[in-house]
Amino acid sequence: MRVSPTVTDFLLLAVLTAAIGVGWLLGKRSVSRTLNLWDFGASPPSQYYRGLNFLLDGSQDSAIDAFTKALEVNAETFDTHIALGNILRRRGEVERAIKVHQNLLARPSLPLAQLHLSHLELARDYISAGLLDRSERLLKDLVAESGDHQRVAQRHLLEIYEAQRDWNQAMLIATELLPRRGLLKAKSSEAEEVGQPVPILLAHYCCEKAEAAVAQLDYQAGRNYLQQALKYDAASVRATMTLGDLEIKADNPERAIKVLKSLAHQEPGFVAESVPLLKQAFYALDRREEFLAYLEDCLRRAPNTPLILAIAFELRDAAGATAAKTFLRQHLQKKPSLRGLELLMQLHSQSEVGEDEALELATINKLVAGRSSYRCGHCGFRGQQLHWHCPGCKHWGSIRDLSATGEIGYV
């Protein structure tokens, strides 16, 4: 992920400043001949000052190249090299980051801990560059050889398999990451691990496999995967929605209704997402009145705009535009929304709409079209529809319709 240029520029300057300090120290020590770390020797200060001159001239790129060449790799400069490579990657300069990290690996007597760290950073560079096969090879080696970086490497492997949509491999790795049964509590490193909880990831992988099975019309395999998903994460609204969809496709509307109704307990703000599926199921059984009554019951328990709109649409079809308008006017007073106002105006008959009203409606249409109510709770990505996997930060299940959760109004 690219970080804003101002932040990375500041970090780069900080690392280069650190490099100046380390270089100056090395220069001093080489004079007094006391340096013998990793037996690489000290940096010649003359090469080093070229980098400093570039930096003072404001030529950061040439400064980076000069420092990379001038600053010998040893125990004292290793962290500076790693930091420099990482900042280059965060600035989006992946090729240069790869060079910096490969330069570290070219040292034959690099101690094992530093060798593994360099491997890890290079694997991260390859992911950023989209060279997933190369990264996968490095990460698999790390999993096999490095105890310290094993779990981090496995997390990166998950990133790769998710990008490749290889759910079998992703499930294998994620299962290895699950906390071991029998241990009283997870190791502290596992508790502090960056990334979403593994059971949540596994639930989404199962849902992906279920969707593929449903696409192949293999409903029983789909059901099995979704039951497995709910075992990993009982709160998975995705598993419930997918199971409801599956039962409709498998011509079991009664079963679909039962499944989809459990969303009201799992996450009341999510019920509106299931309205199109519920409608299919209730209509297939010709139980339209019960459908409307169920939605009204959900609205009483958790009032939100998408549900108000769904009920208004249903009322329009079942009882006509006047009933829908009365309902909308009532609810717009309590919960004002642009989409509600838009629907109310659309419900006016042709004879009620003059040129002025048409202009007002067109304005509201534009306002509504320009607003997105779906937002990722992790990175803030905004969109017009629900994604299970955030296109911005690749988190699973973190996008919600904020007009349904009440976090934003008037949309």
Site for Zn ion in 17-56 (CB under 5 A): none
The distance of closest approach from Cβ of residue 203 to Zn ion in the complex, given in angstroms and rounded to an integer, is 18
Identity of the residue, 91 or 395, whose beta carbon is nearer to Zn ion in the bound complex:
395
CA pair distance 157, 135, nearest whole angstrom: 8
The distance of closest approach from Cβ of residue 185 to Zn ion in the complex, given in angstroms and rounded to an integer, is 30
Using the rule CB under 5 A, which residue among 390, 402, 404, 411 binds Zn ion? 390
Identity of the residue, 35 or 390, whose beta carbon is nearer to Zn ion in the bound complex:
390
Identity of the residue, 38 or 381, whose beta carbon is nearer to Zn ion in the bound complex:
381
What residues contact residue 91 under an 8 Å CB cut-off, 6+ apart?
2, 3, 5, 8, 9, 12
Stretch that binds Zn ion, among 30-38, 172-180, 314-322, 390-398 (CB under 5 A): 390-398
What residues contact residue 94 under an 8 Å CB cut-off, 6+ apart?
88, 125, 128, 129
Site for Zn ion in 323-382 (CB under 5 A): 376, 378-379, 381
CA pair distance 89, 11, nearest whole angstrom: 12
Regarding 1 and contact with Zn ion (CB under 5 A), the answer is: no
Site for Zn ion in 121-150 (CB under 5 A): none
Distance between start and end Cα atoms, the chain: 30
Number of residues that bind Zn ion (CB under 5 A): 8
The distance of closest approach from Cβ of residue 393 to Zn ion in the complex, given in angstroms and rounded to an integer, is 3
Token code pair at residue 370: 């320009």
The distance of closest approach from Cβ of residue 396 to Zn ion in the complex, given in angstroms and rounded to an integer, is 10
399-401 and 374-376 as β-strands: parallel, antiparallel, unpaired?
Answer: antiparallel
In DSSP terms, 382 is beta-bridged to: 375
Identity of the residue, 374 or 410, whose beta carbon is nearer to Zn ion in the bound complex:
374
Regarding 393 and contact with Zn ion (CB under 5 A), the answer is: yes
Q: What are phi and psi of 63, to 5 degrees?
A: -65, -45
The distance of closest approach from Cβ of residue 196 to Zn ion in the complex, given in angstroms and rounded to an integer, is 11
The distance of closest approach from Cβ of residue 398 to Zn ion in the complex, given in angstroms and rounded to an integer, is 6
Give the DSSP H/E element, type plus range, for residue 88: helix 78-90
The distance of closest approach from Cβ of residue 392 to Zn ion in the complex, given in angstroms and rounded to an integer, is 4
Query: What 3-state DSSP class applies to 406?
Result: coil
Q: What string of H, E and C letters represents the secondary structure of 188-252?
A: HHHHCCCCCCHHHHHHHHHHHHHHHHHHCCCHHHHHHHHHHHHHHCCCCHHHHHHHHHHHHHCCC
Using the rule CB under 5 A, which residue among 392, 405, 408, 410 binds Zn ion? 392
Q: Which residues bind Zn ion (CB under 5 A)?
A: 376, 378-379, 381, 390, 392-393, 395
